Structure 1
Amino acid sequence: MESSRRWVVLAAGVAGMTAGCAFLYGLPYLLPRLRADGLSLTQAAVLVACPTFGLLATLVLWGALADRYGERGVIALGLGGAGLVLLGALSVHGPVALGACLVVAGAAAGSVNAASGRLILGWFGPAERGLAMGIRQMAQPLGVAVAAVTVPVLSRSGALLLLAICCLATAVLIAIVVRDPARTGSDGAATNGNPYRTPVLWRLHGAGALLVFPQFAVATFGLVFLVDTVHWDAATAGRVLAVAAFGGAAARLFAGWWSDRAGSRTGPMRILAGVTAGVLALLATGVPGLVVAALVAAAVVSVSTNGLSFTAVAEYAGPGWAGRALGIHNTGQNGVAALTAPILGAVVTHAGYPLAFTAAATAAAAAVAVVPALHVRDHQPTT
């Protein structure tokens, strides 16, 4: 029974993460509609980044609550609150009021980001944890895929209503299906105290943040890049990027499986960061006939490292610190994500897409040097 339950818990967690990510990271697919409503690209980019700004304010708090009170209640409460706020957003008028609602809903939805990774640490052993976290991290590209297919063809109100229903439905599912893992002795590097006494976690946080920059450069501007430079309509571009998002989900699954076999989360992470840098450098060249293939490849490989960094952080921190450590990790990643849209929106407006994608490639290359060398067996740096 316990053997099968962990997969049921994982499936419910993935459903919750998918719903939360469709809202948190799928709003860029509203950019063409917001621009048609009279907003500049920079203004619209700030608006779709609002959920991430809300997320930043609460991730560590949600993680601390999960460490103390358990994961199920934290996730269900946050997703339910996000759904209710999104329903309330249907009746507001003007970008300022809408942005405020999106900030609050993002703050609530942060619960699933902070606590669902902790479920993996509690329910799965080291030999399966990379694969399980890869499955969990598939939720982000799957959520983006849902948004890519639905949001471009819906009105603003229709999109918000769909996202609200998804959050509320999965909050109920989490409350019914998920059971918090048993709290036993600690493992990982944090067994004897604060894991931040060494620089390992800080390097993992830094590498994860650097790798979010190229991921969100592609996720935020991939659609408008295809509309502006390849002259596709938004619906066609959304379908292509939805296919790429499914590829990204598969890439996360493969990366997790690879890390289990390799006995290291950070070795595969370093290799995939280098591949990301190379693909984005190719995209930045703007060579006709290659840009679409390069964009799709970048959309796939740029998301592949997330599960690896989350698993490495959770394992190194240990159960006693995992919620807070993952909250800090998420805060750094989403801080970069929140800044990516407005900063690159201004870069694209004044200097064009090649410079924006070159900056993303540079961040991925820097991450290669920052990733520490860790082995799963002892969670200590290798020599």
Structure 2
Amino acid sequence: MRRWLILALGTGAQTVACVFVYGLPYMSDELRRNSSLSLSQVGLVVACPTAGLVLALVAWGALADRIGERIVITAGLTATAALLALGTQVSGLVPLGLLFALSGAAGASVYAASGRLVMGWFSAKERGLAMGIRQTSTPLGMGVAALCIPRLSESFGVRGPGVFCAALCALFALLVGALTVNPARDTSSSGTRPEEGSGNPYRSPSLWRLHGTSALLCVPQFTASAFALVFLVDVRGYGAVAAGQLLAFAQVLGALSRVVAGRWSDRVASRVRPMRQLAYTTAAVLCLTALGAVWPTPASDVLLVIACGITASTNGLAFTAVAELAGRSWSGRAMGIQNTGQNVTASLTPPLIGALIGAAGYAAGFGLAAVIAGAAALAVPVPKRERSAEQTSGDSGQVEPAKGSV
């Protein structure tokens, strides 16, 4: 029972960290009016938390590997709450940018350690489901931000959302500190192969390939999420509110797809086989979405919603596979590197794909995302044990990978 409580706390902690990072864009108008910032300066301020996050992820992961997850998450969320509270008292580009960057860096503790915490409390037979649930924190955080931040900003100015996010972070810092217990350091108790806990796992190319594959799969995910609304408004003639409601359903679909994919990986005792198959499916759906952009019909809308859901499905699988390959003694650093690659790719995708769409149309943008999803599927590593099982399974097609393979 305790492991489910810890899963809830880890997911909640990650969610409140996401509320702050993804809620800032909803404060843009208030930042312009109350802080006397230009639109370009607002863009810089909004980007500061992500910059701080990316720079601090690996360091927090290494600290979690050394001293455990409970202290790291509690300290990081406490610091985030304090910095956000301080941010409500200042204005101007440099003070706000600095405090938001430091807040993002402090919040990176949750990104680096909460996945490690969940992984340690669940056996290999349940990890896929557990990490799939944990990875719903991103759409949950985005949903809370979309519902709360605009209203608070309109009613209380910049201080309202700042106090709200600070209070959420402080609450979960208290809950994690009081109720969380670090998983046992003995790797055999967590279901991880003992040999994974020793030595540097980056001597093998498999981890690097997983990081690269995950970064590539961020391109279709953030292409679909970044340009779905403008496609529906510009091409299909939706109003902004109606398009937003349709895409809110797509976020729910994305969260569910992560949970279902995780459970699937538990049942087949492999993370990479479902990941590879979902990457191919993503490529196929985006190909159809590109065709729908050439010949827009109501079916184009359905395909776009499906694309937003399916492109998010591999996220939990990738984190689970990375942590299992890295082993307990390296999983914090490995997930820090994983998060870094994904955040960098997520930051670069909208402007680069946006430039392509501006020059060649939506079909070109969705088509390129489909090609990249196909390349990611080809790059997914196949562990030797699984490859051997596939080769010896004969014509029956029944694969029985060794326990603990990714």
TM-score tier by shorter-chain length is 0.7 to 0.9
Q: For the Cα contact (< 8 Å) 1:137–1:306, is it kept in 2?
A: yes
Q: For the Cα contact (< 8 Å) 2:187–2:327, is it kept in 1?
A: no
Match of 2:102 in 1: 104
State the Cα distance separating 1:253 from its structure 2 match: 0.6
Q: For the Cα contact (< 8 Å) 2:7–2:134, is it kept in 1?
A: yes
Q: Percent identity?
A: 50
Aligned equivalent of 2:52, options 51, 54, 73: 54
> For this pair of structures, how many residues does the alignment match?
376
Q: For the Cα contact (< 8 Å) 2:269–2:403, is it kept in 1?
A: no
1:377 aligns to 2:402 (yes or no):
yes
- Which whole-Å CA distance do the structure 1 matches of 2:309 and 2:98 have between them? 32
- Which whole-Å CA distance do the structure 2 matches of 1:305 and 1:153 have between them? 33
Aligned equivalent of 1:136, options 109, 134, 137: 134
- Which whole-Å CA distance do the structure 2 matches of 1:94 and 1:147 have between them? 23
Segment of structure 1 superposing worse, 121-130 or 359-368: 359-368
Aligned partner of residue 290 in structure 1, secondary structure: helix
Matched to 2:379, the amino acid is: V
Aligned partner of residue 298 in structure 2, secondary structure: coil
Segment of structure 1 superposing worse, 366-375 or 63-72: 366-375
* 1:143-177 CA distance string (max 9 Å, x none): 12222333455536244443333222222221122
Aligned equivalent of 1:88, options 86, 89, 106: 86
Name the CA shift for 1:92/1:238 in 2 (closer, same or farther; >3 Å).
Answer: farther
Matching of residues 142-181 of structure 1 within 5 Å: 142-155=140-153, 157=158, 158-181=160-183
TM norm structure 1? 0.87
Name the CA shift for 1:243/1:255 in 2 (closer, same or farther; >3 Å).
Answer: same
1:9 aligns to 2:6 (yes or no):
yes
Name the CA shift for 1:181/1:236 in 2 (closer, same or farther; >3 Å).
Answer: same
In terms of Rg, which structure is larger?
2
* 1:296-318 CA distance string (max 9 Å, x none): 21221111111101111111111
Match of 2:39 in 1: 39
TM norm structure 2? 0.83
- Which whole-Å CA distance do the structure 2 matches of 1:229 and 1:97 have between them? 40
Match of 2:208 in 1: 202
* 1:98-131 CA distance string (max 9 Å, x none): 4443322221111111101111221111111111
Matched to 1:16, the amino acid is: A
Match of 2:114 in 1: 116
1:193 aligns to 2:190 (yes or no):
no
Matched to 2:133, the amino acid is: I
State the Cα distance separating 1:213 from its structure 2 match: 1.9
Aligned partner of residue 127 in structure 1, secondary structure: coil
- Which whole-Å CA distance do the structure 2 matches of 1:38 and 1:292 have between them? 35
Name the CA shift for 1:135/1:63 in 2 (closer, same or farther; >3 Å).
Answer: same
Name the CA shift for 1:225/1:84 in 2 (closer, same or farther; >3 Å).
Answer: farther
- Ranges in structure 2 where 5+ consecutive residues have no aligned partner: 387-400
Aligned equivalent of 1:260, options 243, 266, 283: 266
- Which whole-Å CA distance do the structure 1 matches of 2:109 and 2:187 have between them? 24
Relative contact order higher in (CA < 8 Å, ≥ 6 apart): 1
- Which whole-Å CA distance do the structure 2 matches of 1:220 and 1:165 have between them? 29
- Which whole-Å CA distance do the structure 1 matches of 2:68 and 2:175 have between them? 16
Name the CA shift for 1:84/1:261 in 2 (closer, same or farther; >3 Å).
Answer: same
Matched to 1:39, the amino acid is: L
Q: For the Cα contact (< 8 Å) 2:198–2:329, is it kept in 1?
A: no
* 1:6-40 CA distance string (max 9 Å, x none): 11111111111111122234545567888999637
Q: For the Cα contact (< 8 Å) 1:148–1:241, is it kept in 2?
A: no
* 1:231-285 CA distance string (max 9 Å, x none): 5454443333222212211111100100000111000011111222222233334
Q: For the Cα contact (< 8 Å) 1:74–1:111, is it kept in 2?
A: yes
Matched to 1:300, the amino acid is: G
State the Cα distance separating 1:222 from its structure 2 match: 3.5
Q: For the Cα contact (< 8 Å) 2:290–2:362, is it kept in 1?
A: yes
Name the CA shift for 1:288/1:250 in 2 (closer, same or farther; >3 Å).
Answer: same
- Ranges in structure 1 where 5+ consecutive residues have no aligned partner: none
Match of 2:279 in 1: 273
Aligned partner of residue 303 in structure 1, secondary structure: coil
Match of 1:313 in 2: 322
When the two chains are superposed, the root-mean-square deviation of aligned CA atoms in Å is 2.8
Match of 2:248 in 1: 242
Segment of structure 1 superposing worse, 342-351 or 315-324: 342-351
- Which whole-Å CA distance do the structure 2 matches of 1:78 and 1:128 have between them? 27
Match of 2:390 in 1: none
Q: For the Cα contact (< 8 Å) 1:50–1:338, is it kept in 2?
A: no
Aligned partner of residue 319 in structure 1, secondary structure: coil
Name the CA shift for 1:62/1:104 in 2 (closer, same or farther; >3 Å).
Answer: same
Matched to 2:165, the amino acid is: L
- Which whole-Å CA distance do the structure 1 matches of 2:226 and 2:274 have between them? 25
State the Cα distance separating 1:353 from its structure 2 match: 3.8
